[in-house]
Amino acid sequence: MLASSPECRHIIQSIIEHLPSGVTLFDQNLEMIACNGLFRRLLDFPDKLFEGSLPSMKSLALFNARRGEYGPGDPEELAGQVVQRAMAMKPHQFERVRPDGIILEISGQPLPSGGFITLYTDITERREAEENLRDKEGLLRLIFDNSSVAIFTIDSSGRIGAANQRMVEMFMIPLESLIGIEYVDLVDPVEQEIARKNMADHLACDRPNVNLERHYWRSNGSAFWGQLTARRMPAYRNGRAGLVCVVADITDHKIADQVLAERSAELEALNQELTKAVDALAASNAELLAARQELEHLAQHDNLTGIWNRRRVEEAAQQEMLRKARYGHPVSMLFIDLDHFKRVNDTHGHAVGDDVLKAFCDIASKCMRSTDMLGRWGGEEFVILMPNSGLMIASLLAERIRKATLTYAFPVAGHITVSIGVAECRDDEAWEAWLCRSDAALYAAKEAGRNRVISDAVGSKETDEAELLDLDFLRLVWRSTYESGHSLLDKQHQNLFEHANALLTSVLSERPKDEVLPQIEVLVSDLLDHFRDEEAVFRLIGYSDADEHAQIHQGLIDRAGELVANFTSGELALGDLFNFLAYDVVAKHMLSEDRKFFGQIQVIRDTAG
């Protein structure tokens, strides 16, 4: 009996486990003698099917039929057909596409002593590669057969090996007659010797692409001028070099110089197409990938300054708006215009103007954070997108750019100023509306005299928030109008402002996490103390909304704990955390909710007085 001894089965199992294919070994009764682990993984058999003893052919076939491996039909009948075919003990080889898309090549061979061995090979990648190759060959054939120029190959003996339909039409020679003739027979007899020498030199050694004009003869005796482009193929046939050539009929261009001048742009485009066609025939996949990456870069960047272009800015803005809608992360926009830029061009010329635009991009980039995105909107207008940034941080960056530009001495042009409009994207706001608000803020800055930053703050709440900023010193500023009249609460408010400014400095300078965490811990600790003392004060004065205000405090504390934990684990940016702790909690909460009981404090103080 096949593999009757345990020692023999052990040897067989050791061998098949190291084979690159799935392997099964059945005896003459279709009982499994051995299989390797790869077979079980390829066909996704569960371990329980192999518990106790190895399954028979029938049990495996029935399991496969029940899970749809053989297609629709009665499982018992389908499994029986499999067993019946196996009982024939004939060599077989076929492919099966599994329900999960894996393609298996199954090859079985009867054994002399009865039974058979079957190999299961995953050929999915091979089939995909073959399909890709067929697609590429089809594309090249389509280009070859439908090209507007003659494309042909020359073997090492100087004879034409392949030609497209356009060559048949151009030379008026049937395809079967073209194949095998000497290339130089198509050239004007006057130029045949030089053409033969050039061809031999090119075949003998690699050199830059040949690109020249050649006088050709047609089969009917007429002549025409052709623009020849040729490139050497190191191993064309039988390991010997050959040439791939492209010929365009340029007779009309040779007849009239004026026509040549008028159509020079078209010829240049045609030459580029020809060069691309030749390169496509010989380029590797790596070269194609590099070309695609270069095209993507050009499509997204401004040709003069190298920064993002308008299209890329709009794409990034849409992405940031989606992120805001999904996660609530703020995003702001700076709309920048170089003041009196036309005067620079008119006075010093466009070359100097171009240098100014590039220098400004360097200035802005040095002021920005690594996460901010700079793009050229058009002419002398620029846009900066600021992820994880509310109106406050955006206004501070705008002022930093304005000052840096003002103090910079541009070569030739001298000192130049900028006007900047700032707008934070609002909830459920369309891109066009956000852009319009930032543009309106820019217009307001220019109308107000230029060389300034204006933030879009329409509502009274936004106006109050704008007052928090001291753009001259890039910080939150405490004003006497924020005082409640209670010395402890006012002192705590001012202290929280200082903590917020320290955190703001860390945001703008992009300090590392280990330096920022102690600042955050102090701010949160002082915030908890302040909320506790504030709740005691407004309960003491009998504030009617004390319970509701305390609930707001608790919600802010819970959210702060969640965001600090996310920042510590690396799931949240520092800008997001700043917007909540320093901006939403310290600044905005004080300007909205806290002011509701300030009046009651003042009344009690006046009454006591």
Q: What is the pTM of this model?
A: 0.42
Domains 6-122 and 132-282 share a fold: yes
Amino acid at 37: G
Taking Cα atoms as reference points, which of 460, 452, 456 lies closest to residue 441? Answer: 456
Taking residues 212-240, report their average pLDDT.
88
DSSP element (H, E) containing 491: helix 487-509
Q: CA 83, 88, 89: angle at the middle one, nearest 5?
A: 100
Evaluate if residue 458 carries a pLDDT over 70: no
Scan for tokens 């193929």, then name that residue: 233
Superfamily (CATH H level) for 6-122: PAS domain (3.30.450.20)
pLDDT digits (tens, 9 = 90+) for 237-270: 777 889 999 999 999 988 876 665 666 777 787 6
| Report for 231-235, 369-373, 440-444, 597-601: range of highest mean pLDDT | 440-444
Evaluate if residue 461 carries a pLDDT over 60: no
Report whether 370 contacts 310 (CB < 8 A).
Answer: no
**Mean model confidence pLDDT for the chain:** 86
* CA dist., res. 534 & res. 212, Å (int): 88
Q: Place 391 in a pLDDT band, splitting at 50, 70 and 90.
A: confident
Taking residues 214-219, report their average pLDDT.
90
Taking residues 127-133, report their average pLDDT.
89
Beta bridge partners, 108, equal 92, 118
Evaluate if residue 68 carries a pLDDT over 80: yes
* CA dist., res. 418 & res. 403, Å (int): 9
Q: Place 368 in a pLDDT band, splitting at 50, 70 and 90.
A: very high
Query: Domain 303-473: which topology?
Result: Alpha-Beta Plaits (3.30.70)
Evaluate if residue 587 carries a pLDDT over 70: no
Report whether 594 contacts 552 (CB < 8 A).
Answer: no
What's the DSSP call for residue 191? G
Report whether 375 contacts 310 (CB < 8 A).
Answer: yes
Q: Place 424 in a pLDDT band, splitting at 50, 70 and 90.
A: very high
Least confident interval from 153-167, 218-232, 451-465, 560-574: 451-465
pLDDT at residue 320 in the model: 94
Least confident interval from 90-99, 325-334, 444-453, 576-585: 576-585
168: burial class by Cβ within 10 Å (0-12, 13-18, 19+)?
A: middle
Taking Cα atoms as reference points, which of 75, 40, 82, 20 lies closest to residue 57? Answer: 82
Q: Place 462 in a pLDDT band, splitting at 50, 70 and 90.
A: very low
Q: Which CATH class is domain 132-282?
A: alpha beta
pLDDT at residue 445 in the model: 96
Q: Which residue has the higher pLDDT, 37 or 237?
A: 37
Evaluate if residue 564 carries a pLDDT over 80: yes
Q: Place 463 in a pLDDT band, splitting at 50, 70 and 90.
A: very low
Taking residues 485-505, report their average pLDDT.
85
Three-state SS for 12-70 is HHHHHCCCCCEEEEECCCCEEEEECHHHHHHCCCCHHHHCCCCCEHHHHHHHHHHCCCC
pLDDT at residue 460 in the model: 39
Q: Where are the alpha helices (DSSP H) in 349-389?
A: 350-367
| Report for 232-241, 447-456, 556-565: range of highest mean pLDDT | 447-456
Least confident interval from 40-49, 303-312, 462-471, 514-523: 462-471
Evaluate if residue 559 carries a pLDDT over 90: no
**Cα atoms in the 13 Å half-sphere on the side-chain side of 408:** 22
* CA dist., res. 463 & res. 457, Å (int): 5
Least confident interval from 337-341, 443-447, 549-553: 549-553
pLDDT digits (tens, 9 = 90+) for 280-326: 776 767 677 766 777 777 789 999 999 999 999 999 999 999 999 98
pLDDT digits (tens, 9 = 90+) for 146-172: 888 999 999 989 999 899 999 999 999
Report whether 457 contacts 441 (CB < 8 A).
Answer: no
pLDDT digits (tens, 9 = 90+) for 71-107: 899 999 999 999 998 888 899 899 988 888 899 999 9
**With pLDDT > 70 as the criterion, what percentage of the chain qualifies?**
90
Q: Which residue has the higher pLDDT, 528 or 286?
A: 528
Q: Place 473 in a pLDDT band, splitting at 50, 70 and 90.
A: very low
Sequence ranges of the domains in the chain:
6-122, 132-282, 303-473, 480-608
Q: Which residue has the higher pLDDT, 272 or 609?
A: 272
Token code pair at residue 171: 């030379």
Q: Which CATH class is domain 480-608?
A: mainly alpha
What are the φ and ψ backbone dihedral angles of 309, each rounded to 5 degrees?
-95, 180
pLDDT at residue 362 in the model: 97
pLDDT at residue 88 in the model: 87
Q: Which residue has the higher pLDDT, 290 or 409?
A: 409
Taking residues 383-411, report their average pLDDT.
93
Taking Cα atoms as reference points, which of 349, 116, 155, 318 lies closest to residue 310? Answer: 318
Taking residues 396-414, report their average pLDDT.
95
pLDDT at residue 22 in the model: 93
Evaluate if residue 347 carries a pLDDT over 50: yes
Least confident interval from 195-204, 373-382, 504-513: 504-513
Token code pair at residue 450: 């230029």
289: burial class by Cβ within 10 Å (0-12, 13-18, 19+)?
A: exposed
Report whether 579 contacts 465 (CB < 8 A).
Answer: no
Taking Cα atoms as reference points, which of 505, 504, 498 lies closest to residue 477? Answer: 498
Taking residues 518-543, report their average pLDDT.
89
